[in-house]
């Protein structure tokens, strides 16, 4: 069910104008249709539309419930935004999906970026909250002076990750389960010596996030991933062990795709099933369906995938009823691939959740990331189309042949090209 962000729903039974427009104009919902709302404060609301107006969509609340917190402590990440805002936006998105409680943008002496647009980041946070089906929006603090920030009170452990010499234990070695934690992540040029000294004076503990050092536009992103990895592991399991590579993958972090034994075993299982599947004779359709149901994570009763078919794991692929894919479908399902009912996929289509870091050193280590792909109901994907990581395609969409889909495509659209763009609305 589509989730709508309604921060004032407790006092105003009306969707914000942007959400109302999406609900009525794009999704074409009308009076009586049920929708799911969240206030971003931890609550979900099941509601029915009482007035289907594109600017003033009114609802009646049918049910309300609180989403349990992921943990009983507070996680706050303060980071100097990268020069390339795409990196910062990626972090904001993943932090929301993981469940970070608060994000602060730091203005440091060596910061590459001194200004940000909080409204843009806020939209990223809201979208990620809805996409990950969470009911809590992280607190976002805009650009804040470093000296001012480190002087503020915080009820918990305070850490600073820096590159200066000295004794610096790994975060996962010093953090204790259940503690509130604030972690400072500096710019690529690191915090200045004066900033480090001030932070230590204000009670921050020096930590290391590992030995990796990356170039300007990737350093902060990788360090954040390492820091979140360490805290989440300690806080949720009560152990100082490292996340498994599959756990990193599910969180959208860099993970070992080439050398981890567990991941290699999963891919080997898929290869064995695909070997049998792709060599069945045409009349063995019942056996083919049996193998698909064994390979894929979730299917409807009526599905056909014409061989040859290839995927990485299979269990991350979910398809609805009346699913048809023509020959040479390739799905790299490091992350979830969810496809709705009545999907029609032409020959030679690629659906790729996996990507690789820009830095050659990390690629050579076998590291990659995987972002989920969602494809709605009644979607036709033309021959030779490519769907890239993190894309969502709405209901009743047609993707033209040879298109490269790099960004989300709204419902009821005809979209074509490289990069794929909406050229026409489909009215039915």
The predicted pLDDT at position 395 comes to 93
> Could you report how far apart the first and last alpha carbons of the chain are, in Å?
21
Provide the annotated active-site residues. 356
Claim to verify: residue 238 and residue 100 sit in the same structural domain: yes
pTM of model > 0.75: no
Note whether 89 and 221 are same-domain residues. Answer: yes
Question: Does residue 249 lie in a domain region?
Answer: no
Can you give the pLDDT at residue 1? 60
Strands 367-370 and 354-355: antiparallel
Residues 186, 108: one domain? yes
Residues 103, 181: one domain?
Answer: yes
Q: Does residue 120 belong to any structural domain of this protein?
A: yes
CATH number of the domain encompassing residue 389:
2.160.10.10
Same domain, 317 and 229: no
286/421 same-domain check? yes
Q: Which of 12, 38, 66 is the last residue of a domain?
A: 66
Reply yes or no: is the peptide bond before residue 210 cis, omega within 30 of 0. no
329 and 194 assigned to the same domain: no
Q: What is the pLDDT of residue 178?
A: 79
39: domain CATH number is 2.40.240.20
Judge whether 60 lies within some domain: yes
Tell me whether residue 251 is in a domain. Answer: no
Mark whether 144 and 91 lie in a shared domain.
Answer: yes
Task: Check whether residue 300 and residue 340 sit in a common domain.
Answer: yes
Nearest to 305 by CA among 259, 337, 353: 337
Q: Which residue has the tokens 């600073």?
A: 160
Let me know if residue 250 belongs to a domain. Answer: no
Total domain count, the chain: 3
Regarding whether 379 and 236 lie in a shared domain, the answer is: no
Tell me which residue range forms the domain holding 147: 75-243
Would 26 be classed as within a structural domain?
Answer: yes
Mark which of 212, 243, 274 sits at the end of a domain.
243
Does some domain include residue 237?
Answer: yes
Residue 282 shares a structural domain with residue 390: yes
243, 271, 306 - which closes a domain: 243
Look at residue 150 and tell me if it is in a domain. Answer: yes
Looking at residue 196, which CATH number applies to its domain? 3.40.1280.10
Tens-level pLDDT at each residue, the chain (428 residues): 678 999 999 899 999 999 999 889 888 888 988 899 999 999 999 999 999 999 999 999 999 998 887 777 888 999 988 887 877 888 888 888 888 899 999 999 888 888 888 888 998 899 888 877 789 999 999 999 999 999 999 999 999 988 777 777 877 778 777 789 898 988 877 889 999 999 999 999 998 765 554 332 343 344 444 444 545 444 333 333 356 788 778 767 788 888 889 999 999 999 999 999 999 999 999 999 999 999 999 999 999 999 999 999 999 999 999 999 999 999 999 999 999 999 999 999 999 999 988 778 778 888 888 989 999 999 999 999 999 998 999 999 999 999 999 988 999 999 999 999 999 988 76
At residue 140, the pLDDT reads 92
408 and 293 within one domain: yes
């Amino acid at each position: 069910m589509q989730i709508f962000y309604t921060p004032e729903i407790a006092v105003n039974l009306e969707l914000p104008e942007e959400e109302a427009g999406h609900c009525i104009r794009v999704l074409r919902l009308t009076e009586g249709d049920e929708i799911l709302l969240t206030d971003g404060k931890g609550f979900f609301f099941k509601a029915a539309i009482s007035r289907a107006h594109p600017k003033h969509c009114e609802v009646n609340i049918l049910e309300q419930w609180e989403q349990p917190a992921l943990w009983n402590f507070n996680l706050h990440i303060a980071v100097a935004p990268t020069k390339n805002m795409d990196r910062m936006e990626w972090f904001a998105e993943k932090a929301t999906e993981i469940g970070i409680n608060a994000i602060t943008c730091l203005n440091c002496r060596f910061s590459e970026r001194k200004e940000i647009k909080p409204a843009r980041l806020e939209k990223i946070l809201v979208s990620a909250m809805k996409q990950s089906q969470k009911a809590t929006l992280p607190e976002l603090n805009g650009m804040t002076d470093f000296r001012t920030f480190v002087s503020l009170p915080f009820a918990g452990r305070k850490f600073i990750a820096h590159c200066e010499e000295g004794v610096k234990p790994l975060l996962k070695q010093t953090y204790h389960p259940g503690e509130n934690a604030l972690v400072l992540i500096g710019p690529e040029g690191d915090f200045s010596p004066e900033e480090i000294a001030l932070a230590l004076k204000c009670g921050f503990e020096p930590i290391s996030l590992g030995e990796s050092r990356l170039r300007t536009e990737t350093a902060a992103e990788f360090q954040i991933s390492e820091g979140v990895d360490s805290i989440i592991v300690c806080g949720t399991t009560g152990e100082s062990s490292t996340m498994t590579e599959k756990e990193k993958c599910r969180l959208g972090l860099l993970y070992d795709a080439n050398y981890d034994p567990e991941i290699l075993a999963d891919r080997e299982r898929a290869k064995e099933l695909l070997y049998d599947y792709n060599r069945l004779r045409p009349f063995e359709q019942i056996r083919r369906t049996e193998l698909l149901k064994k390979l894929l994570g979730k299917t409807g009763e009526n599905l056909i995938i014409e061989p040859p078919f290839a995927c990485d794991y299979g269990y991350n692929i979910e398809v609805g009823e009346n699913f048809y894919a023509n020959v040479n479908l390739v799905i790299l399902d490091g992350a979830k691939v969810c496809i709705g009912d009545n999907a029609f996929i032409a020959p030679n289509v690629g659906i790729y959740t996996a990507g690789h870091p820009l830095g050659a050193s990390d690629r050579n280590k076998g590291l990659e990331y995987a972002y989920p792909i969602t494809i709605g109901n009644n979607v036709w994907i033309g021959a030779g189309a490519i769907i890239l990581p993190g894309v969502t395609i709405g209901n009743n969409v047609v993707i033209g042949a040879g298109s490269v889909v790099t960004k989300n495509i709204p419902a009821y659209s005809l979209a074509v090209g490289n990069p794929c763009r909406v050229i026409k609305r489909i009215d039915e």
